[in-house]
Amino acid sequence: MKTVCSIFGLLISFASFSQQSDFTVAPGAQRTLTATERTLSLKNFNLGDDCTIIIPPSMDGWTVTATDVTIGKNVRILGTGSFGGAATNGSHGMNGANCMPGANGMNGNLGLPGGAGKNISLTLRIRKIESLAISVNGGDGGPGGNGGNGGKGGNATCTCNGGTGGNAGSGGRGGPGGRGGNVDISYSTVGSATVSNSNFVIQNLGGRSGIGGVAGVPGTGGLGGGCSDPKALVKLAGAAGRPGAQGALSIQGANGITTVQSPDK
């Protein structure tokens, strides 16, 4: 029983300590959050003028509850989604042997999707605030891969016409944009502080689609003739391959949801 009580007492002490902890960023400083700071319950939350807080790619967002908050001017919280990577290009078609068609170029691959913007939840009792800008736009999708070129058709011989050129590969579709992060701010005041929704500037648009990949170049047909026997019929050149298509755009990411409210109003 004593052991249980001791553990219970330690838990209460730890919870009390967490509630009284502080989070301070000096004016002009930049601070990248750590995994242990994903969710904070604070007494003092102080952000100096022109400071920047960065939510790293390894974290999905940030949640803060604080009972005594001071925020200076031009304070920024950045949690933009990552840019989608470029897709791989389609491989080129092999050239054909004599009389044989060239191989087709392969289509480019789909661009990688943009990352989602970070979700932010702030529950603040504010003593003083000037301006807080939060940017959690979704990341742009990556470009689609380029189509591969068609292979050249094989040349004519005494017994065959030139081979047809390989078709060009189409460009890959651009990657979809990432969704914007959700931002939920609930604020109240300490003392005679004056706070309104205009103290907060939120950017949480969905990311743009990546551009489509460029089509490959169709292969040329094989050369005609190709026979030194004057009695042989002239063999025709091969036709060129068909062109590929430009890669299409994908979808834009959805905008995040913004809620800024004060229970006092």
List, edge to edge, every strand of the sheet that includes 119-129: 22-25, 39-47, 61-71, 119-129, 183-189, 258-261
Residue 187 CA to residue 171 CA, distance in Å, equals 49
Residue 63 is predicted with a pLDDT of 97
For residues 103-135, one letter each, b for 16 or more C-beta atoms within 10 angstroms of the residue's C-beta and e for the rest, the string is: bbbbbbbbbbbbbbbbbbbbbbbbbebeebebb
AA letter at 118? K
**pLDDT tens digits, 66-88:** 999 999 999 999 999 999 999 99
Q: 140 near 114, Cβ under 8 Å? A: yes
Confidence check: pLDDT of 151 > 60: yes
Q: 169 near 103, Cβ under 8 Å? A: no
Confidence check: pLDDT of 13 > 60: no
**pLDDT tens digits, 157-203:** 888 899 999 999 999 999 999 999 999 999 999 888 899 999 999 99
Please report which helix (H) or strand (E) contains residue 8, including its range: helix 2-20
- Which pTM was predicted? 0.81
Residue 264 is predicted with a pLDDT of 66
Res. 224 pLDDT band, cuts 50 70 90: confident
- Sequence-distant (6+) residues with CB within 8 A of 160 are 98, 99, 235
**Closest-CA residue to 166 (of 226, 92, 236):** 92
Q: What is the number of alpha carbons within 13 Å of residue 91 lying toward its C-beta?
A: 4
**pLDDT tens digits, 189-202:** 988 889 999 999 99
For residues 5-38, one letter each, b for 16 or more C-beta atoms within 10 angstroms of the residue's C-beta and e for the rest, the string is: eeeeeeeeeeeeeeeeeebebeeeeeeebeeebe
AA letter at 101? P
User: Count of CB atoms within 10 A of residue 230's CB?
Assistant: 5
Secondary structure class of 77 (helix, strand, coil)? strand
